[in-house]
Chains A and B, each alone.
Chain A
Amino acid sequence: MAAPRPGVVVDQRDLVERAKRGDHDAFATLAVDAIARLDAAARLILRDPELARDGVQEGYIRAWRTLPALRDPDKFDAWLRRLVVHACIDIMRRRRHRAVEVELTPIDGLAGGDFTATIADRDQVEAALRHLEPEWRAVVVLHYFLGIPLPEVASLLGIPLGTAKSRLHRSILAMRTAVGVDEVSATASIPGGQLA
C-alpha cells in the first residue's frame, strides 16, 4: 500500500475541520471520496442493494449530524466507516429473523477444478457468501474487503476477539467447502498478517 501523501492528508484535515463547522460542501467532498467502497461493503454485508443504500445513507446522515463531536480530524475515514458499518449492523439486527442458516455442504454443480478468475468462480464465492449468516458475512467483508484488522473488526461488531476469529475461520471454511476447495492443504493462518 502506498504511503499517504502529505498534501492529501492536509487537504482532508482541512475539509473535515470545515465540515465540522457546518460547511456542507466540504462534507460532500469528503463523502464522495469514501462512498464507493462503503456502498460496496454495505452491499456485500447486507446482500440487498436497497438495504445497503439505507445503511450507507443512515451512516452518512449520522456522520453529518454528529461531525462536530469528532475530536481528531485525521480519524475521519475510520470514524465514517464505523458509522456506516454500525448502521448496516443495525439493519441486520432488525432483520435477524430472516437470517439464513450456514450451509457447510458444497453447492451442487459449483465445485470446480483449477480456481481461476472467471465469472463462475465469482458466482461460487458470491453464492457461498450469501449462505453465510449476516454477522459472519460482516466479519469476512470487514476483514477481507475493507482490510480491517481483526481486533478492530471485533470492536466494530461489539464481539470478543475470539468470537471474531472463530466466525472468520468458520466462514472461510464454509466458503471453501461451498466452492470445493481442497481442504487437505488448509492452514489455520489468517492471510495478510492482520491479526496484530
Chain B
Amino acid sequence: MMSSDRFDRRLPQILEEISLPRKPDYFDDLVGLSARTRQRPAWTLLERWLPVVDLARQPAFARRVPWRPIAVLAVILLLILATLAWVAGSRHPLPAPFGPARNGLVVYAKDGDIFTADPLTGTSKAIVKGPENDINPRWSDDGTSVAFERVVDGNTNDGVVYVARADGSDPIPVNTQPLAGVSSYAFSPSGKQILITASAQGIPSVFIAEADGSSIRQLDIQGRVTDAAWRPPDGSEILFMDDAGADQNGPDTGIYALNVADGKIRTILKGADADGRFRGHATWSPDGSRIAFGEWTDSSDLTVQTHIVTANGTGDTVLPIPTGAVWEGPSSWSNDGTRLLVIRGYSGGVDQSRPAIVPVDGKGTGVEIGSSSNTGSALDWAWAPDDSSILGTPTDASDNVLDQVMLDPVTHTSRTLPWVSVSQPSWQRIAQ
C-alpha cells in the first residue's frame, strides 16, 4: 500500500496530468471580447484612491503574554483612567459632531509606526511604535481615539483594526479574526463603532465592529460594496455603492443607504450602467443632507463631472468643469459644507490632474491650485477642521510618496510640510 508521504509528493504531478494545462480553444474569443471592452480610467478605480502603504516591512512574531495578571492590572488601570478621563472630559468639551472645529494634530503612518504631527510647528511624535506593521490611522470625529490597521504576521493582505486613545495608548483589536483586504474603516459619529470594508470570501463586504472589541458583524449586503460611509450627523444610515448592475465586472453605478437599525436598504440612485452611465466616489456632506459623486459615460469622449444630490437622490446639481478638462471627481467636503475639494484632470490619466476648490452650488468652476509641482498626483485630501487649509498626500509618477502638502483655500497657494506619510490624511477635531 502506498505511503501518505508518497501520495503528497505525487499530488502536484497528478493534478498536472488530470488537468493537462493547454491553451484553451476559447482564447481567441476571450481576446476578442476584451478588445471590445473599454478600460476604466485610472482615477475611477478605488485602488488609485487608496493610500500607498509600505507593506514591505515584516513584523516580528510577538512573544506569549501573561494575559491574566495583565488583565487584572488593566481593569484597575482602566478604572483610574476612566476617572481621569471623566475629569479631563469635564474640562475639555468635545467638538460638535459636524461642522467646523478647532484644528488638532494630524495622524499618519510611516515605516510601520503611527505618528502625530503638529502642522503649526511641523514636529512629529510616534504614538504607536514597535515591530508590528501598523498602517492607515484615522481619527474619530470627536478627536479622542485613533483607529489603525495592524498587518498580520506573514500575510500582508490580512489585518486587524485597532482602536487606541489619542496618544496611542491602550490599543484594542476590534476584530479578533483577521480580515482580508481591509480597504477602509471609519468611526461612527458616536465613536462607539467602526465601519470596516474588507474582503469576505473574495467579495468586498462591510462589517460593523464595536470600538471596544466586544463584537463584529457582517452587514447583509449582496454584491461588491464600495464607498461605505456613515451618514452624519448620527450614523443612522450607511451609504454604499455596488456594481450589481448590468455589468458586475464594471464600475459602480447604484448608490444606496442601509438603515443600521433594521438593515433595510433604500435606493438613492439606481444603477445607470444599462444607460451607459457610471458613478463613483460617493461622499456625504458634513451634515448628511447631500451626497457628492462623480458620473461619466462610457464613450470615447470621456467626461466625468461631479454631481450633488440630496440624501434621497433628488435635486441633481452638476458642477461645471472648465474647457479642456475631461474629468473631475469629488475628494473632500469643506466642514462648512459650501465647497468641495475636487481632483480635475486634463487627460485620461492622473498625470495632468490638479486639485481645485469649487462651490457646491454649481456657480462657477472654482479655483485650481496647481502651482506646486508635487500636488499633481495627490488624490487624497482632507480639510482642516477649521477649513483654513487642506492636507494632501502626494505621490510622484512612480507612486513614491512625497512630503505632505498643505493647500491654502484663500490664497490658492500650496506648501510642503516636513513629514512624509504613507496614509490618507486625517486631522483631529477639537472643540472650538
Contacts and interface: CB of A to CB of B under 8 A. Distances in A.
Contacts of A71: 47, 52, 399
A115 B18 contact: no
Interface in A139-196: 140-141, 144-145, 147, 151-152, 154-161, 172, 175-176, 179-183, 185-187, 190-191, 196
Contact of A186 (B4, B38, B155, B250): B4
Contact of B15 (A145, A154, A172, A186): A145
B154 A151 contact: yes
B42 A145 contact: no
Interface residues of B, number: 59
Contacts of A175: 7, 11
A64 B35 CA distance: 9
Interface string B244-283: 0000011000000000000000000000000000000000
A1 interface: no
A16 to B, nearest CB: 13
Contacts of A155: 155, 157-158, 180-181
Interface in A63-111: 64-69, 71, 85-86, 89-90, 93
Interface stretch (B112-120, B194-202, B324-332): B194-202
Interface string B3-28: 11111111111111111111110110
Contacts of A156: 202
Interface string A22-45: 101001100110011101110110
A28 B1 contact: no
A157 B19 contact: no
Contacts, number: 182
Contact of A161 (B10, B19, B48, B155): B155
B144 to A, nearest CB: 31
A124 to B, nearest CB: 9
Contacts of A37: 21
B45 A39 contact: no
B279 to A, nearest CB: 16
B82 interface: no
Contacts of A145: 12, 15-16, 19
20 contacts: A28-B31, A40-B22, A58-B249, A61-B33, A64-B39, A65-B250, A68-B42, A71-B47, A89-B201, A115-B2, A117-B13, A125-B14, A125-B18, A145-B12, A145-B16, A155-B157, A155-B180, A156-B202, A157-B202, A161-B155
Given A147-B12, A176-B7, 17 more contacts: A56-B24, A57-B30, A57-B33, A69-B47, A71-B399, A89-B201, A93-B203, A113-B1, A115-B10, A117-B13, A121-B14, A125-B14, A151-B155, A152-B157, A155-B158, A183-B4, A185-B3
